[in-house]
């Protein structure tokens, strides 16, 4: 589903954020991506989402080469991916429910269907009772879970999560990872960037380790 | 189960309709929310746009009214040819009969010297004076009323009459008419020029307003693009917002124009008096407002200008935003 072949990434002149990274993630697979801060984890996720373009190598997602996609193809590409961002990226001028609804609105689902799915997604992360709240009135952990609900609401083929448990206490972290496992069980490919070694070992999925932009372990 | 992307993609035309309804309904809902969140900006902008559109709309209103009045006055325009006193009555009558065939589409009346005198004595208190005259001092005349109004037609008829050797004098007092027509031409030119200026001004004003709205929503646009929103999706609510501003401004302009037009009626009456001689022509100008169609056109035009300005402004801006 995701295939990196000798992918290099350079943000500007200077050091490479990624150098010749190769790995593959299959359909329904849940993979952890770990490494120190600055190792290049977020960069890998941003490349998959086509928020950046790689400076070398080739990157295939869902059987398509990312390079050379047109503007509208890029939008469709991003719609099949549910992304949880490190800093949540919520819209503070609309309610929690409307934030979660955003991917469905963008994909032009019918009004009623949107409502149903939003409630189901919020229920999954235990925030159904906060549907009408503003994200500004939620704790960091709750905001994180709203971000997760938004990522899964469109039933994507791929889920990317950047430090999704960064703001969560251990108990909630386990809950969130269990939600991800449920999705992988029905065929969704999932890549989770995290430096929470303890948590990762607890789950025991395949782990890719990045070290200064190089893949040091394929798990 | 796995079902990302477009939910309706493979369905029929009924689905297309509901898809379009969903798409635009959503954009309109967002626009309404934005207006509700910043009613002051939207209100002030609409006011500015309204005032701007009012200027050319008023000129159109004035020009249309004067045109109507001019038409009425021209209907009453008549050209009078006076015969030399030595032209015998039957000769003059013959000529006026011939004119009947020469001048197409005009009402031609022959007034003999005798009947002219009779008419005069009917309307004056000078009967004793007239009665004491040895001979009739009035010449015979022919009065031509063209069916087709306009200075050009009148000039043509004048030429025909002047060329008759039996005619001493042709009178057509339409200098004021020509002046009015020139004024109207000027007014039309002015309102065209002003419309052009106003339209470009509106494009700039609305484009700028929407542009700064885009700027303040940078973050939101970035997030929407990150999760797969197309440029068209991002653009839509802004285009509706621009369209709303234009339509609201247009509506205000219609109201302003109606109000000012009402006030103007008296002023126009006063002005008209100066251009009309003592002739007993009906001088009360009932100022007609813009028609329903004209009002609708102003509102629609405002909406299209607003939508268009927003479209280009947003497109230019979001092309530079990277998710
Ligand atoms: N937008 C950017 N511009 C320049 N350098 C960047 C940018 N984003 C990340 N980097 C650099 O790329 C490297 C990898 O960053 P990142 O992928 O965010 O690491 P991680 O997520 O593992 O902490 C770091 O050295 C970081 O400074
Ligand atoms: Mg990171």
pLDDT of residue B149: 66
Query: A107 vs B228: CB contact, 8 Å cut-off?
Result: yes
pLDDT in the model for residue B126 = 66
pLDDT at A187: 92
**Which chain B residues touch A if contact means CB-CB below 8 Å?**
1-8, 18-19, 22-23, 25-26, 33, 37, 219-220, 223-231, 233, 322-323
- State the ligand closest to the CA atom of A212: 1
Question: What is the secondary structure of A171-205 as a DSSP string?
Answer: HHHHHHHHHHHHHHHTT-EEEEE---HHHHHHH--
- β-strand pairing of A189-193 with A30-35: parallel
* CA-based nearest residue to B226, from A187, A95, A88: A88
- DSSP letters spanning B54-88: HHHHHHHHHHHHHHHHHHHHHHT--EEEEEPTTS-
A83 inside domain? yes
What pairs with residue A18 in β-bridges? A9
B207, B240, B316 from B308: Cα distances, Å? 8, 10, 12
Considering only the beta carbons, identify the residue of B5, B37, B323 that sits closest to A79. Answer: B5
Greatest distance between any 2 Cα atoms in chain B: 117
Quote the number of domains for chain A. 1
- Are B15 and B8 in contact, with CB atoms under 8 Å apart? yes
If one compares B10 and B184, the residue with the highest pLDDT of the two is: B184
pTM as predicted: 0.75
Residue A62 domain-assigned? Answer: no
- Are A191 and A33 in contact, with CB atoms under 8 Å apart? yes
Other CB atoms within a 10 A radius of the CB of residue B25 amount to 12
For B198-255, write each residue's pLDDT tens digit: 999 999 999 999 999 899 899 899 999 999 999 999 999 999 999 999 999 999 999 9
* Within-domain flag for A164: yes
Every domain range in chain B assigned CATH 3.30.70.3040? 78-173
* pLDDT digit string, tens, across residues A111-146: 889 999 999 999 999 999 999 999 999 988 899 999
Calculate how far, in angstroms, residue A41's C-alpha sits from the geometric centre of ligand 1.
Answer: 8
Q: Is residue A5 part of a domain?
A: no
Q: What is the mean pLDDT of chain A?
A: 91
Tokens coding A51: 């928020």
Q: Among B8, B225, B226, whose Cβ lies nearest the Cβ of A108?
A: B8
pLDDT at position A198 over 80? no
Q: What is the pLDDT of residue B122?
A: 73
| Over residues B163-185, mean pLDDT | 78
Average pLDDT over every residue of B255-279? 73
Q: Give strand ranges (E) for chain A.
A: 2-9, 18-25, 30-35, 56-61, 64-65, 81-84, 158-162, 189-193, 206-211, 214-217
Q: Could you tell me the two tokens for B112?
A: 């003999």
Res A110: pLDDT: 85
**Closest atom of ligand 1 to CA, residue A43:** 17
Contact A77 B228 (CB under 8 A): yes
In this predicted structure, the answer to whether residue B2 has a pLDDT above a threshold of 50 is no
pLDDT tens, A35-70? 998 899 999 999 999 999 888 889 999 988 998 899
Taking only the tens place, the pLDDT of each residue in B101-121 is: 888 788 888 888 888 878 777
Banded pLDDT at A188 (limits 50, 70, 90): very high
Confidence of residue B3 (pLDDT cuts 50, 70, 90): very low
Q: How far away, in angstroms, is A169 Cα from ligand 1 center?
A: 26
For residue A152, give its domain range: 25-53+71-217
pLDDT band at residue B271 using 50, 70 and 90 as cut-offs? low
Closest residue CA from atom 3 of ligand 1: A11
Res. B286: pLDDT tops 70: no
Q: Among A12, A35, A38, A215, say which to mutate for ligand 1: greatest number of ligand atoms within 8 Å of CB.
A: A38
Which of A62-71, A75-84, B94-103 shows the lowest per-residue confidence on average (mean pLDDT)? B94-103
Q: Is residue A4 part of a domain?
A: no
Give the Cα separation of A150 and A103 in Å (integer). Answer: 7
d(CA B232, CA B235): 5
A43 CB near ligand 1 (under 6 Å): yes
- What are the tens digits of pLDDT across the range A2-36? 999 999 999 888 788 998 999 999 999 999 999 99
Q: Which CATH class for the B78-173 domain? A: alpha beta
Give the pairing of strands A189-193 and A214-217: unpaired
* Share above pLDDT 70 across residues of chain B, in percent, rounded to a whole number: 81
Instruction: State the pLDDT at residue B308.
Output: 95
Mean local confidence (pLDDT), B36-64: 89
Instruction: Kindly report the CATH number assigned to the domain that includes residue A111.
Output: 3.40.50.300
Query: Would you list the DSSP string of A44-71?
Result: HHHHHTTSS--SEEEEEETTEESTT--H
pLDDT > 70 fraction of chain A, expressed in percent and rounded:
99
The pLDDT value recorded for residue B272 is 62
Higher-confidence position of B152 and B213: B213
Residue B12 pLDDT level (bands cut at 50, 70, 90): low
């Amino acid at each position: 589903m995701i295939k990196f072949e000798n992918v290099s990434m350079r943000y500007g002149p200077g050091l490479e954020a990624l150098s010749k990274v190769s790995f593959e993630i299959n359909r329904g697979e849940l993979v952890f991506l770990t490494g120190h801060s600055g190792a290049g984890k977020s960069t890998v996720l941003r490349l998959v989402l086509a928020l950046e373009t790689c400076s070398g190598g080739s990157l295939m997602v869902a059987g398509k080469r990312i390079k050379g996609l047109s503007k509208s193809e890029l939008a469709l590409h991003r719609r099949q991916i549910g992304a949880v961002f490190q800093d949540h990226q919520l819209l503070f001028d609309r309610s929690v429910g409307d934030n979660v609804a955003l991917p469905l609105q963008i994909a032009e689902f019918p009004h009623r269907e949107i409502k149903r799915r939003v409630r189901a997604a919020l229920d999954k992360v235990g925030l159904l009772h906060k549907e009408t709240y503003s994200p500004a009135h939620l704790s960091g952990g709750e905001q994180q879970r709203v971000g997760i609900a938004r990522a899964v609401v469109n039933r994507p083929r791929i889920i990317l999560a950047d430090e999704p448990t960064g703001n969560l206490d251990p108990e909630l972290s386990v809950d969130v990872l269990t939600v991800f496992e449920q999705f992988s069980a029905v065929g969704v490919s999932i890549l989770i960037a995290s430096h929470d070694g303890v948590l990762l070992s607890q789950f025991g999925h395949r782990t890719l380790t990045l070290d200064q932009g190089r893949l040091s372990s394929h798990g | 189960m796995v079902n990302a992307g477009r939910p309706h993609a493979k369905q029929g035309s009924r689905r297309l309709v509901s898809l379009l309804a969903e798409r635009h309904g959503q954009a309109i809902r967002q626009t309404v929310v934005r207006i509700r969140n910043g009613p002051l900006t939207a209100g002030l902008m609409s006011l500015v746009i309204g005032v701007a559109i009012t200027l050319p709309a008023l000129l159109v209103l004035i020009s249309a009214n004067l045109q109507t009045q001019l038409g009425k006055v021209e209907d009453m325009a008549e050209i009078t040819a006076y015969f030399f006193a030595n032209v015998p009555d039957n000769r003059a009558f013959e000529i006026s009969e011939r004119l009947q065939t020469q001048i197409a589409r005009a009402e031609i009346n022959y007034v003999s010297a005798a009947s002219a005198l009779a008419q005069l004595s009917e309307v004056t208190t000078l009967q004793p004076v007239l009665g004491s005259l040895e001979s009739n001092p009035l010449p015979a005349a022919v009065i031509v009323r063209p069916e087709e109004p306009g200075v050009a037609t009148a000039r043509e008829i004048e030429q025909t009459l002047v060329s008759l050797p039996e005619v001493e004098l042709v009178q057509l007092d339409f200098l004021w008419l020509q002046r009015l027509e020139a004024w109207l031409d000027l007014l039309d030119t002015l309102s065209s020029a002003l419309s052009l200026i106003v339209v470009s001004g509106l494009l700039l004003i609305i484009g700028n307003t929407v542009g700064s709205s885009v700027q303040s929503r940078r973050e939101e646009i970035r997030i929407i693009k990150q999760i797969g929103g197309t440029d068209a999706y991002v653009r839509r609510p802004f285009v509706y917002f621009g369209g709303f501003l234009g339509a609201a401004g247009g509506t205000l302009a219609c109201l302003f124009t109606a109000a000012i037009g009402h006030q103007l009626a008296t002023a126009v009456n006063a002005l008209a008096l100066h251009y009309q001689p003592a002739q007993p022509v009906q001088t009360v100008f009932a100022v007609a407002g813009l028609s329903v169609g004209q009002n609708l056109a102003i509102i629609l035009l405002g909406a299209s200008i607003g939508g268009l300005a927003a479209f280009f402004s947003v497109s230019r801006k979001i092309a530079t935003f990277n998710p």
